[in-house]
Structure 1
Amino acid sequence: MPHSLVLNILPLAPIPAGYLTGRHLHALFLTLVSSVDKQLGDYLHDAAADKAFSLSPLQTKKCPFKKHHSLQWEHAESIPEYTPCWWRISLLDDSLFGKLTHLWLNINPSKPWHLGPADLSIANIFGTHQPDRPWVNACTYAQLYEQASETNRLIAFSFATPTTFRQGKFDSVIPTRECVFNSLLSRWNKYSGIEIPELSLDALYSSFVNIKSEKVTNYEINFVGMVGEVSYRILGDVEPLVIKQINALADFALYCGVGRKTPMGMGMTRRIAIAPSQKITKQNAELSFPIQG
């Protein structure tokens, strides 16, 4: 059962910018896991390919919900002490959340956790969706699949942190249908237990693109990723089953993200409602594609 949780965190001392990287937050998550299950923490640390979770960068701004703008992914300066922060953790494996239940139920605000030289207090954890908490939700894979529409032909995503896709030996920032949906499909088939053996994307076309490229410098090597909004439209005579599968994968994006380095804060993605200005007709099929870098 995938879960998308948000932790409210209060730093008890300034957090230096050098400790706000994806690598350090990844280490903090493994520390949390090891506090209740050291064997599981060691397994997640050593599992090079099987990363059944994704993390966000640490956020100091209120979670946006009226506008689908990007999140913070780098901090040029330290976060001052007592600055309210939030941090998203998503879990993809059915058993992972259960193994960490003791952690979620027994968070002690007076117990400090450590991010570099700073102590952190975890005030609370949200796991239930609310209108002002777009990154919080939980749903079984069976529910995700059963509730997926067989008729909705409009799919829109907000890419909230820099997103890049591995193609052969190199990376690409262009969110083609193959890059986005094959990324979702591989993780769905790995964790859901409801395999989609083959998915035809021939009828899926970009209908609105508003993205810009951004450099991510807080890794061992620099990455260039894209943030923004992309819409796809299913065109032509398409079986309801295929439409349902595409919609299920789109809904799954909230939990798994897309592309590379999702366990370190990249590729945070969620499905969004399509604004009227993005809906196209046969008479007005203009593609908006401003790429900035």
Structure 2
Amino acid sequence: MPIKLLLKFQADKKIPTSSLKPKTIHGIFFSLFPENVGEIFHTPSVKPFSLFYPVYFKSPSKNQLSFTVEMNVLNNELFPEISQVLFRKTFSEKAPVANVDGVEIELTTVKAKDVTTFESLMAKAKPLKELIFDFVTPTTFKKGRYDYVLPEPYLVFKSLLNRWNAFSPIKISGKELLPFVKENVLISGCWIKTKKTELMNGAKITGFSGRVFFYAAKFDEEKLKILNALSRFAEFAGVGRKTTMGFGKVKLAQKREGDEQDV
């Protein structure tokens, strides 16, 4: 059961957005939980959550007293324990959860923004041949030792498939789906840019952001429904590397009249 939560934090004085780097947000998140719960998040090879803080990538020079982090829980078995901790901190403890550059930060509110089930994602999926992804924050894949910064359909849907199968009771066969993607799904439009983003202490990662049109050249109702379900799931899971640090944030877009399709 994918669940999207909005976590609002309050600082005791204005803090530059540039101080809230991806690893810092990651650290603030883990500071919310006791060690045993943190291990549940940290141990699996496929992480059962994603975090997004797009403001850092857009307005790093901004100063703010409060900021909101989107948290997506991909494994519903974790939600009771997570919610217990989060709501206790917002309603009972009211104590700083982190200190960033001498600024104390407190969790003030937790709000559910979107809740669905894997069964619902699959049941509502339509066999659309075109999908429009807005990559809101830098997205990247790993090829060997290097960042790969192109929205290759195979890599996008392989990333989503791995996360889906890790947490969904409805398993999808990659042996059937991925060859279909490789042979039939192409990019029909692409407006992206790449940039290097600092993770922390000078370490950087290169990713792309922007709008990408994916088009299936062959109609296969069952496989297209699966791709559409995975695309909706992407709004919770994110795509590619470092989604637990804010990278790979995706929103689905609707096609507008006049949108060009030829690259």
Q: Shared topology, TM-score over 0.5? A: yes
RMSD: 2.2
Match of 2:213 in 1: 231
**Matched residue pairs, number?**
254
Match of 1:14 in 2: 14
Provide the rounded CA distance (Å) in 1 between the counterparts of 2:54 and 2:95. 19
Distance 1:50 1:206, change over 3 A: closer
Q: CA deviation at 1:138?
A: 1.3
Give the 5 Å matches for 1:7-156. Answer: 7-15=7-15, 19-34=19-34, 38-45=35-42, 47=43, 49-57=45-53, 59=55, 72-73=56-57, 76-77=60-61, 79-80=63-64, 83-106=65-88, 107-108=90-91, 110-116=94-100, 117-128=102-113, 137-149=114-126, 151-156=127-132
Give the 5 Å matches for 1:134-283. Answer: 137-149=114-126, 151-198=127-174, 199=177, 200-201=180-181, 202-219=183-200, 221-236=203-218, 238-278=219-259, 280=261
Provide the rounded CA distance (Å) in 2 between the counterparts of 1:94 and 1:230. 30
Which amino acid is the alignment partner of residue 115 of structure 2? Answer: A
Relative to total residues, which structure has the larger helix share, 1 or 2?
2
Structure 1: unaligned runs, 5 residues or longer: 60-71, 129-136, 281-285, 288-293
Which amino acid is the alignment partner of residue 73 of structure 1? Answer: F
Could you give the per-residue CA deviations for residues 146-205 of structure 1, whole angstroms, max 9, x where no partner exists?
Answer: 1111x3222011111111111233221000101111111111111112111130212212
Q: Is the 8 A contact 1:208 1:231 kept in 2?
A: yes
Structure 2: unaligned runs, 5 residues or longer: none
Deviates more, 1:271-280 or 1:202-211: 271-280
Which amino acid is the alignment partner of residue 44 of structure 1? Answer: F
Which amino acid is the alignment partner of residue 230 of structure 2? Answer: L
Could you give the per-residue CA deviations for residues 55-113 of structure 1, whole angstroms, max 9, x where no partner exists?
Answer: 11373xxxxxxxxxxxx327654734xx3321111111121212212134332384332
Which amino acid is the alignment partner of residue 142 of structure 1? Answer: E
TM-score by length of 1: 0.79
Provide the rounded CA distance (Å) in 2 between the counterparts of 1:222 and 1:18. 14
TM-score by length of 2: 0.88
